[in-house]
Amino acid sequence: MSKKTIFFALLVVFSLVISACGGAAVPATDTAPAQGAASSEQPAAQTSSEQPAAESSGQPELAKELSVYNWGDYIDESLLTQYEEKYGVKIIYDTFASNEDLLAKLQAGATGYDVIFPSDYMVAQMIELGMLAEVDKNNIPNLKNIDPFFLNAPYDPNNVHCVPYQWGTTGLAYKVDSGLEPPTSWADLFDPANAQKWQAAGGINVLNDQRELMAAALKYLGYSLNEKDEAKLEEAKNAILAIKPYIKTFNSEDYDDSLLIPGEVALSHSWSGDAAKAYWETYDEASDTSQWGYVIPKEGAMVWQDNICVTATSSKKYTAEHFMNFLLEPEVIAAVSNYTYYANPNLAANQYMDEAILNDPSIYPPKEVMDKLEWAQQLGETIFVYDRLWTEIKSQ
């Protein structure tokens, strides 16, 4: 067994116990998860807009600077340097911790960002709010490399505003040597008796992300993660509050580095790529074992897709599209996935991918697992209910 197969085999074993649940992996509804410390700095006002079209090329010249706002630890930053050196565009780079943080920052008046990376359901919300520019696909020829499965999603029909970046799942990362049986269900987190055991074994982390944590609680209760009935949402809130005394941290920013890898918790609500990173960072080649495993609970879970978009306030749209096209270069996006351990939808990138990552069912789940996942849909006015419940969860 190669050193990158044990983690993957664990997921395969647990996927066999997954039972049927509502939802499907195909983004066939109104939408559809991540990570890193969010910066409080707003980029300086941009003064260098793109130059008029050059006579020789018929295209605008690239701007001198481009401001990029991404999830933390979601790209090999040497790729940004590569782009800067190749094209002479300075990348001003900033990070956020959740879709809600991204939205709040933009709504608070941060107009200096050019390129952003929202998840699917947030794309739909931002389109409604007029926050995203329409992209010119003529400037993004590498869009042809994207698997059709990930194109034309309902949250952005015909990819008018965004292009796919990375995708993954949300499940449970667990410490293999905790002394407890590996989790198979959301009940391992949300049943207070089980939560108390994981607390005693080393502690619990949950994602500091209202949509993700509410989704997990809803799946535990047997509901869709897109539930809008307020009574059922109250149930989910109460399920979270019932285990809050056993939760050590709410962390979606750097939990892989600060909590999983050093063994500061025994169980974590986790994005698939972060769990994979923890696996490899604690892997021991001599014993061919790792301290961490990952499971998609039997009730099903969230599958998500992050996207590359241009803000409506950007004055550097052509440069932003040029940068988007760069990220869709097969070798570039493969380097991103090899760094983040997240799946990408770029078929042409497969030849440059680490084969163990490409063949890992925890990163690229088999159909029987995908069929039990749901994309997060746009919530409409119900988002205000989620906001209220999240405030109550965090304040109590």
Buried b (16+ CB within 10 A) or exposed e, 181-211: ebbbbbebbbbeebbebbbebbbbbbbbbbb
Assign 361 a pLDDT band (cuts: 50, 70, 90): confident
Alpha carbons 102 and 99: distance in angstroms, whole number: 5
Distances (CA, A) of 300 to 45, 295, 360: 44, 10, 19
pLDDT, tens digit (0-9, with 9 covering 90-100), for 38-74: 343 445 444 446 654 444 457 889 999 999 999 999 9
User: pLDDT value at position 344?
Assistant: 97
The fraction of the chain above a pLDDT of 70, given in percent, is 85
Which domains are delineated in the chain?
6-27+171-303+375-395 (3.40.190.10), 59-167+305-364 (3.40.190.10)
Give the distance, in angstroms, between the CA of residue 30 and the centroid of all CA atoms in the same chain.
18
Average pLDDT over residues 99-103: 94
Residue 34 structure tokens: 């991540």
User: pLDDT value at position 50?
Assistant: 66
User: pLDDT value at position 17?
Assistant: 39
Alpha carbons 387 and 378: distance in angstroms, whole number: 14
Which residues, at least 6 apart from 354, have a Cβ–Cβ distance to it below 8 Å?
Answer: 4, 337, 338
pLDDT > 50? residue 373: yes
User: pLDDT value at position 57?
Assistant: 58
* pTM (predicted TM-score): 0.79
Handedness of CA 156, 160, 162, 165 (dihedral sign): positive
User: Taking the chain, what is the end-to-end CA distance rounded to the nearest angstrom?
Assistant: 47
Average pLDDT over residues 381-391: 96
User: pLDDT value at position 356?
Assistant: 87
pLDDT, tens digit (0-9, with 9 covering 90-100), for 278-309: 999 999 999 999 999 999 999 999 999 999 99
pLDDT > 80? residue 163: yes
Residue 275 structure tokens: 């769990």
